[in-house]
Structure 1
Amino acid sequence: MNIAQIEINLQKLIATINKETFIFDLLLAYGLPKNAITLLKKGNRNMSKTEGEISWKKKLFFKEEQNADLHLTISKLVNNTTHNERFVVVTDYKTLLAIDTKTKDKLDCQIKDLAKHYDFFLPWAGMEKAQHANENPAEVKAAEKMAKLFDVIKKDNPDDSPEFIHGLNIFLSRLLFCFFAEDTHIFEDNQFTNAIDSHTQVDGSDLNTYLDKLFTVLNTPESKRENLPEYLNTFPFVNGGLFRETVPSPVFSRSSRAALLNSGDQDWSAINPDIFGSMFQAVISVDQRGSLGQHYTSVPNIMKVIEPLFLNELYEEFEKAGKDQKKLKVLLNRIHNLKIFDPACGSGNFLIIAYKELRLLEMKIFKAGGMMALSGIQLSQFYGIEIDDFAGEIAKLALWLAEHQINVEFHKEFGRTNPTLPLSEAGHIVQGNATRVNWEEVCPKIEDDEIYI
């Protein structure tokens, strides 16, 4: 059961609510087994003997309440569940309250708005949301929206050929960049989604053509554009290779266009590139949806690798240099010429953290030496091999996003920074099997090169 289908099921459920079958229909909407729900209806699996209550072990405690206050009712119930019910749900069929007993998340909504909160009960569909201390809920929410978008696009485009999947991977990475760009002042605020909303048909019939034109514009310098309508010409030149390859956009329907616009409503400025890539790998890998948000190497674990590998030594050199500009410039030159290589880079976690840490050290060097300078660290210093095509595309994208976010911090500190656009060339991420690819062809080793793997 995918997210798009769940939302459709919920919309049907709330369109004609049947009080007698509501809770069973809700469970079915998330793809729970029909035979198990049939047994629950008959009372065979209902652990509660109280009329109007249903207790399904490890799944649900449900109570309909027409008289007492719903909030008081659910507060009492949540402290008295005895069968490890995952969700406690109370409703008067106008308002629905629910508590996730595992995460302690709460839902309080009008029952007519239940489809808007489809994500709350996703664990019933096997889509668990991780609760790491350092996890930003924005990534999970964004990944859920993109998962829904991916599902409806695939439904509209039932093509599993390698060529189409490769094109779809590139297309999704372009969408992600545009969403991020319009929320972080790379584009004008909401420029991308507003343009789609204003200049394409509601049924989605011309959206692929519009996006093809727009992506061509984003790859064309302003000086070389001719006879473009103003709503396209106002988009900046992006460069960096992101829009270089000619890849036809998938066809869209009314529902997939709506899903795209809905994804654009997310606040993409809150996305953290550190775990961005791993989150979105789960979007296109349906078998990973059950652990959406869990498949990434944490920053502390990455730091355990890069600190002894090269970062500690660089900081020791920094401390020895003190405020000596000559020594600090030698250190800067070293940083600006070293290479970082991950032969199994996944969606780029290691490369991104390494990039950010080097940029932070560079800023400290500038401050210590009282230097007015711009960053000399380039994404082209970062190399990777990744067998998964989509992960590799996302790694390149996440490096660009990390560069922009660090540039913003650099500007706050020094009052100036390298412009984000046009994008610099992406990190050298090669799609292939690291056990078969010649590493030196990916990351050439020239005499005296300082390379960390």
Structure 2
Amino acid sequence: MVKLNLKAVEERVAPIGGRESYDREFIFSLLLAYGKPQGNVTRLRNGSLNVAQDPSTEVAQKNVVYFKETTGDPLAVIDDLKTSPLVVRYNTRFVIVTNYTELLAIDTKTGENLLIPIRDINQYFTFFLPWAGMEKAQYVAEAHADVKAAERMGKLFDELLSANPGMLDMAHGRHALNVFFTRLLFCFFAEDTGIFDKSGYTNAVGSHTQPDGSDVAEFLTEVFRALDTENVGEKPVHLARFPYVNGRLFTVTSEHVVPQFTKKARDLLIELGTLDWSDINPDIFGSMFQAIVTPGKRSDLGQHYTSVPNILKTIEPLFLDGLKEQLDAGFDSVKRLEALLERISAIKVFDPACGSGNFLIIAYKELRRLEHAILDRLFEIDPKHQMLYAESKISIEHFYGLEIDDFAVEVAILSLWIAKHQMNAEFKEKFNLAIPLIPLKETGQIQAGNAITADWEAVCPYDRVSEIYVLGNPPYLGSRNQSADQKKDLATVTEKYKSLDYVSAWLIKGADYIRGTATKLAFVTTNSITQGEQVGILWPQVFGSELEIGYAYTSFRWSNHAKNAAGVTCVVIGLRNISSEPNYIFSDEIRLDAKRINPYLADGPDIWLGRRSAPLSADLPRLGYGSMPNDGGNLILSDRERDDLIADHPEIERYVKGFCGAAEFINGKTRWCLVIPDKDMDSASKVDVIKRRLEGVTSHRLKSTEKSTKALADYPNRFYYFAHKPSDSIIVPSISSERRPYVPIGYVDSTVVGSNKTLVMYEAEPWVFSILTSQTHMVWMRAVGGRMREDYQYSNTIVYNNFPVPPLTRSAKERLALVALRVLDVREYHCEKTLAELYDPDYMPADLRQAHAEIDSLVDSIYSKRGYETDEQRLSDLFALYEEMTAAESAKGSKKK
């Protein structure tokens, strides 16, 4: 498949739009425009790759498209097609129906729809970008009730808190308020979806309560009691139309106090009831939840709502893809289809950090849709089977959750009920069989509790029948952001907790839970646990000798629908007991086979890089941190201060040198520093400005609590750490933006002192520059280096000293030097631009890209004769070489002993 960028796709789709007429060739041209291989499209065209049921009017390719021609209305056709067992069987990403005038498409992964004149296809080219390996950043537009409800529920919550100031001080006040809001959510949904009479709840509040809100609490208590009463004769006449719900949702006890209402609160309640709740997405209830609860309460625990496509990155490879393959294999066999039904009916799904339940909801819906596809095929083979399946075998009792927040638990339970009702509606639409939601027979298995200290086996017990899949998006929280209580939590699962992210507890507990069983696990987590020092601390505890990573999604950015949503860089990691099943690495929506996935999410041996004091590769020179003044700013000069000092005291110029940190180097800024030898202290101190600055250094150091800093107070002319050598030097910024394709590495001359915010290589030859700036080295740095927020953090001890470079001939170094000088020449040609501007991925000059491409090609040839198509291949070879070189190093050390 050709890898294309956005502009290239736009240009390739443009000629397909605006034509006078269209025919079957349209779909083949469209696939080619998104970079699908010519050979595949040819085989699809001639029928050898076409898996459609009716090849005369349909074109279907597994995982890609189901395309259907029609002479009628596309809307009438696509509703049946999108849930057909064939579309489910072949895991089709896009379903397209067209009469060659209009085109209707559905993205089955995100739920998005497209209805356009077919000649306008070029204007909507972004809809099919996943074909080109570009997933959509905004996957699902929220249903209109979701956004408005989140905002208005928040207003109602605030108004009720204001009207009931003592409620949170009550023993069960917070819980009562939480339960009350989940009841409201259920009632609004129920009156818009046929569970209650249409608008029955909102109309009852408006008709039977005073405008000032004074009796709303009393009336709602009566409504809730009616909803919990099975015998209609025991209900007041005016509430007799409210059905029995059960499921403990409306149980009225002394703990379930309804808050007192004001006129404003009553108005907000009725206003909420006028929204259309029928299409509410229960998996987006997390965003509602965040808008309702006290700001910051849950964010401290790292809660993030995860979008549907990112949830599917856990569910699909974990179990759903395998189930669909089983459907495909048994598509024509009643016996095998029935066996698959039995299998999925016994599956348990467990989220030990479930929040408001979005992972569980999507897993439930996907299993129900698979069940519908199996039944559809069974009824097609033998209609008699329809008598045997009058309801779903997928029980919400098989969906387990642990959540520390009480309100989120209530919302998760409610959301599962809503998801069940929605899937029952799909069942009725498909098979004309109604499955009533109420009375609720299932309450789910979601519990309140601290997942780190809880016994997971007690929450979701093993049994001989069920397959168990653990999944979720546990809270991340870096080691510096954890509270004392969270540190204590971590300490209960590992002694080596001080430098670990909070999510590590879920990995360690999850590994212990699945160890020695058929259970599998997949978590969305920050990529920090696959980089830097954490790898060596965490992963030996996770793997032990029994577990492996079965699949992984390498780093990707995601954000969500929730208010103030976090935008973080994530990975997905699937853990299992070691098996003969294939291993997959997903990168840029491409699935790669792997022999073994190591903790850096590369195809390579299990390796944990520690700090090295010297380069692994003998050819590489030393790279160390620059000079640290620790001077309170007194030895550092701005341009203005430097110019004024030299103008007044020209003899001082010999003590002034450039001072370069990462920010100055990348952004083309200048600072200066005073470097005064001990022997010149007396003469330099005769200048008042210098004297005051040296006194400032002394004062700053004397205030320090560090003994080593205080000891240098008597030598204010000296840097705390001075590494500078009078030679041309390579500067490597210690922090650099993740957006850049290359870390802006470069040279400074002997008059510039590199600061401790940089790494400096003195007397460096140009060939080393090529190695450091190569794509191969960048891939290594991204994989094993740490992060400072979202930026790359370059380390000499982890990244550089561990970087494997094979022995280089003199000729190879000369060729590397030539391409290095080419990059430096091009930079000089663009000297009016800073490195930040030159390496901005959106504006990087073409000649600079080409110069770097020459370095990349040459460095690649050092590692592989076959070349590389992906960064994953580069990384796999690097780890293999690292293993080989460290083994040789160990053997050499043993011989010396």
Report the TM-score range of the alignment, normalised by the length of the smaller protein.
0.5 to 0.7
Q: Is 2:275 the partner of 1:262? A: no
Instruction: Tell me, yes or no, if structure 1 residue 423 matches structure 2 residue 429.
Output: no
Task: Give the whole-Å Cα distance in 2 for the aligned partners of 1:244 and 1:199.
Answer: 22
Which has the larger Rg? 2
Confirm or deny that 1:252 pairs with 2:261: yes
1:418 Cα deviation from its structure 2 partner = 1.5
> In the alignment, which residue of structure 2 is the partner of 1:439?
456
Does the CA contact (< 8 Å) of 2:356 and 2:408 recur in 1? yes
Q: Distance in 1 between matches of 2:402 and 2:298?
A: 24
Q: Distance in 2 between matches of 1:202 and 1:434?
A: 45
Q: Which residue number in structure 2 is paired with residue 149 of structure 1?
A: 156
Indicate the residue corresponding to 1:107 in structure 2: none
The reply to whether residue 344 of structure 1 matches residue 372 of structure 2 is: no
Are the counterparts in 1 of residues 401 and 447 from structure 2 also a CA contact under 8 Å? yes
Letter in 1 for 2:343: R
CA deviation after TM superposition for structure 1 residue 424, in Å: 2.8
**CA deviation after TM superposition for structure 1 residue 205, in Å:** 1.4
Tell me the distance in 2 between the aligned counterparts of 1:277 and 1:243.
Answer: 22
Structure-2 separation of matches of 1:417 and 1:318: 25
Q: Is 1:388 aligned with 2:388?
A: no
The amino acid of 1:196's aligned partner reads V
Q: CA deviation at 1:235?
A: 0.4
Q: CA deviation at 1:262?
A: 1.0
Q: Does 1:333 align with 2:345?
A: no
- Match for residue 366 of structure 2? 357
Q: How does 1:178-327 map to 2 (within 5 A)?
A: 178-222=187-231, 225-226=233-234, 228-244=235-251, 246=253, 247-287=256-296, 295-327=304-336
CA displacement at 1:265 relative to structure 2: 1.1
Q: Match of 2:140, as an amino acid? A: N
Note if contact 2:139-2:307 (Cα within 8 Å) is conserved in structure 1: no
Deviations 1:259-316 (A, max 9, x none): 11111111111211121233323211334899xxx95201000001011111111111
User: In structure 2, how many angstroms separate the alpha carbons of the residues matched to 1:295 and 1:377?
Assistant: 27
State the Cα deviation string for residues 218-251 of structure 1 (Å, max 9, x = none): 011135x42x332211100111221125212111
CA RMSD of aligned residues (A): 1.9
Unaligned 5+ segments in structure 1 are 1-130
Q: Is the 8 A contact 2:156 2:265 kept in 1?
A: yes
Letter in 2 for 1:425: E
Contact 1:278 1:347 in 2 (8 A): no
CA pair 392-285 structure 1, distance change in 2 beyond 3 A? same
| 2:205–2:216 CA contact under 8 A, matched in 1 | yes
Distance, in Å, in 2 between the alignment partners of 1:133 and 1:315 is 23
Distance 1:206 1:387, change over 3 A: same
Distance 2:280 2:297 in 1: 20
Q: 1:152 to 1:289 in 2, by over 3 A?
A: farther
**Secondary structure of 1:360's match?**
helix
Q: Shift of residue 202 of structure 1?
A: 1.4
Q: Counterparts of 2:336 and 2:290 in 1: how far apart (Å)?
A: 43
Q: What is the Cα deviation at residue 326 of structure 1?
A: 1.4
The amino acid across from 1:198 in the alignment is: S
For residue 337 of structure 1, report the CA deviation from its aligned partner.
1.1
CA distance in 2, matches of 1:440, 1:239: 28
Identity, % of aligned pairs? 52
Q: For structure 1, which segment, 279-288 or 133-142, has the greater mean C-alpha deviation from structure 2 after superposition? A: 279-288
In the TM superposition, structure 1's runs of 4+ consecutive aligned residues that sit over 6 Å from their partners are none
- Indicate the residue corresponding to 1:400 in structure 2: 417
Structure 1 CA distance for aligned equivalents of residues 373 and 265 of structure 2: 46
State the alpha-carbon separation in 1 of the partners of residues 244 and 295 from structure 2. Answer: 34
Q: 1:160 and 2:168 equivalent? A: yes
Of structures 1 and 2, the one with the larger relative CO (CA 8 A, separation 6+) is 1
In the alignment, structure 2 segments of 5+ residues that lack a partner are 1-136, 380-384, 471-897
Question: In the TM superposition, what whole-angstrom CA distance separates every residue of 1:1-32 from its partner, at most 9, and x where no partner exists?
Answer: xxxxxxxxxxxxxxxxxxxxxxxxxxxxxxxx
1:366-377 equivalence runs, <5 A = 366-370=375-379, 371-372=385-386, 373=389, 374-377=391-394
1:387 Cα deviation after fit? 0.3
Structure 2: distance between partners of 1:337 and 1:448 = 7
The whole-number CA distance in structure 2 between the counterparts of 1:324 and 1:306 is 26
Residues 266 and 295 from structure 1, CA distance in 2 versus in 1: closer, same or farther, beyond 3 angstroms?
Answer: farther
Give the aligned length. Answer: 318
Is the CA contact (8 Å cut-off) linking 2:357 and 2:415 kept in structure 1?
A: yes
Quick check: 236-245 or 427-436, which moved more?
236-245
Q: State the distance in 2 between where 1:348 and 1:331 align.
A: 26
Counterparts of 1:191 and 1:245 in 2: how far apart (Å)?
21
- CA separation in 2, counterparts of 1:323 and 1:202? 63
Which residue is equivalent to 2:50?
none
Deviation at 1:442, TM superposition (A): 1.2
For the residues of structure 1 that align with 2:296 and 2:353, how far apart are their CA atoms? 21
Structure with the larger helix share: 1
SS in 2 for 1:239: coil
TM-score normalised by length of structure 2: 0.35
Task: Tell me the distance in 2 between the aligned counterparts of 1:391 and 1:264.
Answer: 22
Question: Contact (CA 8 Å) 1:143, 1:279: kept in 2 or not?
Answer: yes
Q: 2:428, 2:434 within 8 Å by CA — same for their partners in 1? A: yes
> What residue identity is the alignment partner of 1:184?
T
Question: C-alpha offsets along residues 153-179 of structure 1, whole Å, 9 cap, x if unaligned?
Answer: 111111323510111000000001001
Structure with the higher strand share, 1 or 2: 2
Distance 1:147 1:390, change over 3 A: same
**Aligned partners of 1:446 and 1:406: how far apart in 2?**
27
Partner of 1:32 in structure 2? Answer: none
* 2: CA distance, partners of 1:289 / 1:447: 37
SS at match of 2:168: coil
Secondary structure (helix, strand or coil) at the match of 1:250 reads: coil
Cα deviation, residue 325, structure 1: 1.4
Distance 1:132 1:319 in 2: 31
Q: Deviations over 1:304-361 (max 9, x none)?
A: 1011111111111111111311111111111111110000001001000000000000
Cα separation, 1, equivalents of 2:287 and 2:210:
33
Partner of 2:140: 134
Is 1:170 equivalent to 2:179 in the alignment?
A: yes
Provide the rounded CA distance (Å) in 1 between the counterparts of 2:290 and 2:395.
Answer: 25
Q: State the one-letter code of the partner of 2:294.
A: S
Change (3 A) 1:132 1:279: farther
Instruction: Return the offset for 1:135.
Output: 2.3
